[in-house]
Structure 1
Amino acid sequence: MYICLEGIDGSGKSTQLELLGKWLEDCGLTVTRIREPTDSMVGKLIRKMLKSPDAKDESFQRTLALLFAADRTLLMDHIQKEVDMNRIVLSDRSFYSSLAYQNGEEWIAQINHYALKPDLVILLDLEIETALTRCDGSDSFEEKDFLDEVRKRYLKLADQHGFMVVNANNGVNKVHDDIKRIVAPKLGMCI
């Protein structure tokens, strides 16, 4: 199964991904953790570019969208092999992030046409003010108005694509328990 955690910066995706992975491993399952952007050369370039003050410029955004799609393409074979080997793939972001962060334009969907769709998407929804206190401010996207728009797009995507939405304003353990309650029945497990 391919499970993705989505959400705005600061929503707790990385923390919850680690907790979920550990819980699944403790239950005897084999887990592979991935993140977008990856650690490939393309992913490293994306991470560097995200720190640029020009990152919100329209032409810069188009370039980032293309790089994210390229990085994702490099990742697809790896995900498919892991799933085929009956492993659980946990991802910190997927192509839905591009739809949310780059305003969901039709061409974003087109350039991500070959991206694998997760079997389960869990959206960690968080108030913007809380998210900003958790961010370190190193990425140019970590500002209130922008994250507010991204959050709205995520909630719209959740409605359109049937994401499971978890209130990430709660404490770490409560959020983890909520995620386990979503994942367990999908894998035929009890909590």
Structure 2
Amino acid sequence: MYICIEGIDGAGKTTQCKLLKDWFDKNGYRAELIREPTQSPIGRLIRRILNEPSLPTDDQQKILGLLFAADRLLLKDKIKKAKNEKTIIISDRCFYSSIAYQEPEDWIREINKFAIKPDIVIILDITPEDAQERFEGLERFEEKSFLERVRRKYLRIAEEKKFPVVDANRGINIIQEDIRRIIAPYLGICR
């Protein structure tokens, strides 16, 4: 099974992915964490670009979109192998992040058409104000107006795809309980 946790910066994706893996491990499931961007050379280049102080131009945004799509292709074999071995893959982001964060959406969907689609996608929803309180340092994507636009895109995607949305404005353990309730009905296929 391939599970993806999505949401705006500061929603708690990384924390919730780690807690979910611990829960799977304690209950006898094989689980592995992945994160986008990856630690591959492409992923490291993406991180370097994302840490630049200025906003990229339209062409640079397109290059970034292509790099994310290429980075996802590097995960394809790993995800397929894990699923064949009945290992649960828990991903901190997937191609829906590109749809939410990048433009134009039709083009982003096209360049990601070969990415493996998760079996379960859970959107962590948080207000930009609450997300910003969690930030240790500001990145360029963490401006309130930008986060609000990305949040609206995530909620639209969730509505279109019927993805569950979890209120991430609450405590860590409450959020994790909601995530487990969503995933629990699918666990019979993982043994």
Per-residue deviation at 1:45? 0.6
Partner in structure 2 of residue 173 of structure 1: 173
Partner in structure 2 of residue 182 of structure 1: 182
Partner in structure 2 of residue 82 of structure 1: 82
Higher relative helix content: 2
Displacement over 6 Å in runs of 4+: none
Per-residue deviation at 1:55? 3.4
Task: Give the superposed CA RMSD.
Answer: 1.3
- SS of 1:141's partner is helix
- SS of 1:188's partner is helix
Partner in structure 2 of residue 16 of structure 1: 16
Partner in structure 2 of residue 134 of structure 1: 134
Partner in structure 2 of residue 60 of structure 1: 60
List alignment gaps of at least 5 residues for structure 2: none
Per-residue deviation at 1:104? 5.4
* In 1: Cα distance, 2:68 partner to 2:15 partner: 22
CA deviation profile, 1:17-69 (whole Å, cap 9, x unmatched): 00000001101000011000000000001011001133343222111101000
List alignment gaps of at least 5 residues for structure 1: none
1:159 partner letter = E
- Residues 104 and 5 of structure 1: is their aligned pair in 2 closer, same or farther, counting only changes over 3 Å? farther
* In 1: Cα distance, 2:2 partner to 2:31 partner: 10
Per-residue deviation at 1:137? 3.1
Matched, 1:111 2:111: yes
* In 2: Cα distance, 1:67 partner to 1:131 partner: 26
Per-residue deviation at 1:188? 3.3
* In 2: Cα distance, 1:6 partner to 1:84 partner: 24
Partner in structure 1 of residue 28 of structure 2: 28
Partner in structure 1 of residue 162 of structure 2: 162
* In 2: Cα distance, 1:109 partner to 1:155 partner: 17
- Residues 104 and 88 of structure 1: is their aligned pair in 2 closer, same or farther, counting only changes over 3 Å? farther
- SS of 1:9's partner is coil
* In 2: Cα distance, 1:37 partner to 1:29 partner: 25
1:141 partner letter = F
* In 1: Cα distance, 2:105 partner to 2:43 partner: 22
CA deviation profile, 1:75-131 (whole Å, cap 9, x unmatched): 111111111111000000000000000045111011001000000000000011010
